[in-house]
Amino acid sequence: MAFDTKDIFVFIQHRQGQIAEGSLQLLGKSRELVAAIPGFSVVGVLLGQEAEPLAQAVFDGGADKVILVDSPRLSRYSTQHYTTALTEIIKTHKPDTVLMAATVIGRDLAPRVAARVNTGLTADATQIEVDTASPDAGMLLVTRPAFGGNLFGTIVCPKTRPQMSTIRPHVFDALKTPYTGKRELVRQEVAFEAGDQVRLVRHLPKKEKAVDLSKAHVILSGGRGMKDAYDLVLKTAQEIGATPGASRALVDAGIAPKTLQVGQTGTTVKPRVYIAVGISGAVQHTAGMDKSDLIIAVNSDPQAAIFQVAHVGLVAEGQKVLPLLKEELLKAAAK
């Protein structure tokens, strides 16, 4: 089926003058995708009040064009007004694909916009690539976990446009150097509804989490094999300067808090070093950490699935290895 659509649009989420990492990662991935689709460009959609200064960072991140809607109605995220603005942009510019980071905002906004423009939506995806076998040059293959992460399904949208998807942050890379392509800024006016369906009474700043796994450089995670010694994981992580993590098994058992859960149903991470101790390597967990630069696995079961994604594997008891690991790291740091 031929469509009168073009380009990959990326919704740019921002807060306090900073563009969200997930949006920059989608810009980087979109540059990779359009390289395989002749004639397509990457377009950033920037909504907000006095948000134009952020356009430079969107261009640097990989956009050929930025569509800017500047309005007091967009000063804070509003489901009503952001849906109106993005729907109007899609109807005016007819993108072939619209991508959003699967954040709280992206997960709220995407399905509402998809319903307004009568198209499909693949939510919480972890992979996206061009279908080179399709006669439709812009057809995408979007993969997401299903059945609690036990299966992965690849979804296509052959009958409607735009193709829409929310993508989990930290599964792709942002560009390492600023993009130097064409830079076109388009200002668009949007007619918003006269009244607000929701009225903001008071704004309470969110307290920052004590642990932010998504920004950690080194993570030491414990799994079911450390259920009787998770305190050792926490203590070792503190002593070696790592951020503690946990598998779903420990969270479900009440041993570790949800904020420390790594995996498909927890936090997707991409640290420089990921140390998995006593973690079997179920697909739900590995889908959330397999993009780490270096994965070190310690497990007493030589057949554990975690060894299939690990760069370094050690068949041993975690309780015996962690004190030795701490000792060797502290020796290295003292040199």
The pLDDT assigned to 186 comes to 95
Average model confidence (pLDDT) for the chain? 91
Per DSSP, the residues of 145-172 read EEGGGTEEEEE---SSSSEEEEE-TTSS
Mean pLDDT of all residues in 291-296: 92
CA distance 99 to 171: 14
- Name the helix (H) or strand (E) containing 27: helix 21-34
Of 16 and 298, the structure prediction assigns the larger pLDDT to: 298
pTM of the model as a whole: 0.78
Q: Which residues pair with 128 in a beta bridge?
A: 142
The pLDDT assigned to 307 comes to 95
Cβ-proximal residues to 215 (8 Å cutoff; 6+ apart), any chain:
none
CATH pick for 213-334 out of 3.40.50.2300, 3.40.50.1220, 3.40.50.720, 3.20.20.70:
3.40.50.1220
**Would the CA dihedral through 274, 292, 211, 146 be positive or negative?**
negative
CA distance 137 to 161: 13
The pLDDT assigned to 214 comes to 82
The pLDDT assigned to 1 comes to 66
Task: Say whether 292 sits in a helix, a strand or coil.
Answer: coil
Residue 97: count other Cβ atoms within 10 Å of its Cβ. Answer: 27
* Domain regions of the chain by residue span: 8-187, 213-334
Measured N-to-C along each axis, helices 318-334 and 230-240 cross at an angle, to the nearest 10 degrees, of: 10
**Residues 87-121: tens digit of each pLDDT:** 999 999 999 999 999 999 999 999 999 999 999 99
CA distance 325 to 319: 10
CA distance 23 to 10: 7
**Residues 19-39: tens digit of each pLDDT:** 999 999 999 999 999 999 999
Looking at the predicted structure, is the pLDDT value of residue 212 above 90?
no
Task: Say whether 41 sits in a helix, a strand or coil.
Answer: coil
The pLDDT assigned to 193 comes to 86
- Which residue is associated with the tokens 């009568």? 118
**Residues 131-190: tens digit of each pLDDT:** 988 888 899 999 987 766 667 889 999 999 999 999 988 889 899 999 998 899 999 999
Q: What angle do CA 314, 315, 316 make, to 5 degrees?
A: 100
Looking at the predicted structure, is the pLDDT value of residue 54 above 90?
yes
**Residues 141-155: tens digit of each pLDDT:** 999 877 666 678 899
**Secondary structure of the chain: what % helix, strand, coil (to 5)?**
30, 25, 45
Two structure tokens written together for 145 = 């976990």
Cβ-proximal residues to 308 (8 Å cutoff; 6+ apart), any chain:
281
CA distance 220 to 213: 11
CA distance 311 to 307: 8
Of 233 and 332, the structure prediction assigns the larger pLDDT to: 233
**Backbone dihedral angles phi then psi of residue 232, each to the nearest 5 degrees:** -65, -35
Mean pLDDT of all residues in 49-54: 94
CATH number for the domain running over 8-187: 3.40.50.620
Two structure tokens written together for 296 = 């070190």
Percent of the chain with pLDDT over 90: 71
First to last CA, the chain: 65
